[in-house]
Chain A
Amino acid sequence: MMNEQSVRLDRMRFTKNTTSSRLAILAIVFDVLYFVSLYKTNVDYYYTLIMGASILYNLVFMLAAFLSSEGVKNYKQGFSYVLCVLGIIQIARIFILPIPAHATTVKIGGAELLAMSDGQFTRVVIYLIASAACLFAAAAVNLVKSRALKAHIASLEGQGA
């Protein structure tokens, strides 16, 4: 007779890890919000190689995060590490574009203005942190669940189930 805890574990044999999967998708949504907020400006400051690389990276990020969301849906442990790496990169991105832009001034119509305003800076930083947080959470949840599932299956096999 299984207790509630083992029923919960046993359920994972037949159900998907939707929590991790949805968190990974949410991370993509936050990334989209980030680049939509970032690219809407027409200040010349942004038109550099770094901006081009950023655009390309967004494509890579979305693909990697989506594939990882499918991976963690099936309790694949390796994708937790991929999500962690993606999360670290999201944090690192704060230092690549937003912080330098927020510290730089440009001349627009004769007036000296911040390349990235305070409001825009706050928004993009929040989006990147939120995206990273979702990725870390997805990775952590999947890591815990996949390990528990692995142990549960091993115990079932031990019982000859």
Chain B
Amino acid sequence: MAELSLHHIDKIYDNNVQAVYDFNIDIKDGELIVLVGPSGCGKSTTLRMVAGLEDISNGNLLLDGRDITRVPAKDRDMAMVFQNYALYGHMTIYENMAFSLVLRKEDPNVIHKKVLAAAEILGLTSQLNKKPSQLSGGQRQRVAMGRSIVRNPKVFLFDEPLSNLDAKLRGATRREILLLHKRLNATMMYVTHDQTEALTLADRIVCMSMGHVQQIGTPLELYDSPNNTFVAGFIGLPPMNFFDVTFQDGALRGKGFEVQLSDEEKATLANYNRKEITLGVRPEDIAEGGSLAVKVFSNENLGMNTLVHGHMGDNLRITAKLRGWSNYRNGDIVQLGFKRKHFFDKETTNAIRKGDR
């Protein structure tokens, strides 16, 4: 398939608004890269620049080593799947899937074979004579994918393809995309604001905010070792708890609470003695039986887990994801402890790792 490289890509609109700043990534052949971030972070703009639907203001886009920065969209050999499917309502599914090849004036017999093969992959064979209006949202999205597959492009681009689907269908279609990626072993770029999609689909995730790349890494890297408070807060559900604390005498002191640290954690913060830092704790890294007294104000049972929302110290909000079924009532006091902690520089918001500063 294809290797794609984005080198120092910027997007500056005519009104001088900069949407993307210095985007760099080398995407390996067959890799599935997910761009994730909140609305307006520049992820769709980046994808559209790759597709050729937006001009690249600065930087270079290379496909298999060839500079395609100024190559028109139709000549880039990339296929894009949109959120709204973009299917032709008056055409059958077969005609929709065949349309791009018909425009290229390919042999009808070849088109037929390609459409049937794509329909087989996507489980659409029995739907080929139907119109898009007769299909469900998930099936329509599969048709949109099928239309890309028949073109056999070098790179597949997905722009929030599951956003129009309900939660159940989204999960099913997500698994189909994953299977499709494994089956085609194609290079794919996928844009989403849904971190679950990002974590489950990606070989690597690009987390973006305000046009800047915050971190590029595997899902586990982003979850386990976030670069900064933004990534730490964005990846993970419920989001990470943050507390302003001071590292002093081998412990962290916050407003109305104190947390003891292990020797390893003390070593990590060796250069931050008596300085303010941000302590981050994932809700799933909080367990019952610690030294922190939390006054519960909400208890949500999820079956396997319970989300307990409460206040600790000087009215600091905390969310804990406790194992099993709990029945805390409003006002109950529960003793909690932190199993794993993340530390961030208060000024730069960057993660503090062993040997920093």
Contacts and interface: CB of A to CB of B under 8 A. Distances in A.
Interface residues of B, number: 11
B94 A7 contact: no
B108 A14 contact: no
Contacts of A13: 128-129
Interface string A4-15: 100110110111
**Most A-side CB within 10 Å, residue of B95, B109, B116:** B109
Contacts of A7: 109, 112-113
Contacts of B113: 2, 7
Contacts of A10: 112, 116
Contacts of A15: 94-95, 108
B92 interface: yes
Contacts of A8: 109
Nearest to B129: A14
A75 to B, nearest CB: 12
A11 B116 CA distance: 10
Nearest to B92: A14
Contacts of B128: 13-14
Nearest to B111: A11
A110 B113 CA distance: 72
Interface string B11-44: 0000000000000000000000000000000000
A11 B109 contact: yes
Interface residues on chain A, size class: under 10
B109 A14 contact: no
A4 B129 contact: no
Contacts, number: 23
Interface string B102-142: 00000011001101100000000000110000000000000
B55 to A, nearest CB: 39
Contacts of A14: 92, 94-95, 112, 115, 128-129
Interface string B85-97: 0000000101100
A161 to B, nearest CB: 10
A11 B115 CA distance: 10
Nearest to A11: B112
Contacts of A11: 108-109, 112
A4 B109 CA distance: 7
A10 B111 CA distance: 12
A3 B108 CA distance: 13
A2 B109 CA distance: 10
A32 B61 CA distance: 58
A8 B108 CA distance: 8
A4 B108 CA distance: 10
Interface string A29-54: 00000000000000000000000000
B101 to A, nearest CB: 13
Interface of B: 92, 94-95, 108-109, 112-113, 115-116, 128-129
23 contacts: A2-B113, A4-B109, A7-B109, A7-B112, A7-B113, A8-B109, A10-B112, A10-B116, A11-B108, A11-B109, A11-B112, A13-B128, A13-B129, A14-B92, A14-B94, A14-B95, A14-B112, A14-B115, A14-B128, A14-B129, A15-B94, A15-B95, A15-B108
8 closest A-B pairs (Cβ-Cβ)? A14-B94, A7-B109, A11-B112, A14-B128, A7-B112, A4-B109, A14-B129, A11-B108
Given A7-B113, A14-B115, 20 more contacts: A2-B113, A4-B109, A7-B109, A7-B112, A8-B109, A10-B112, A10-B116, A11-B109, A11-B112, A13-B128, A13-B129, A14-B92, A14-B94, A14-B95, A14-B112, A14-B128, A14-B129, A15-B94, A15-B95, A15-B108
Interface of A: 2, 4, 7-8, 10-11, 13-15
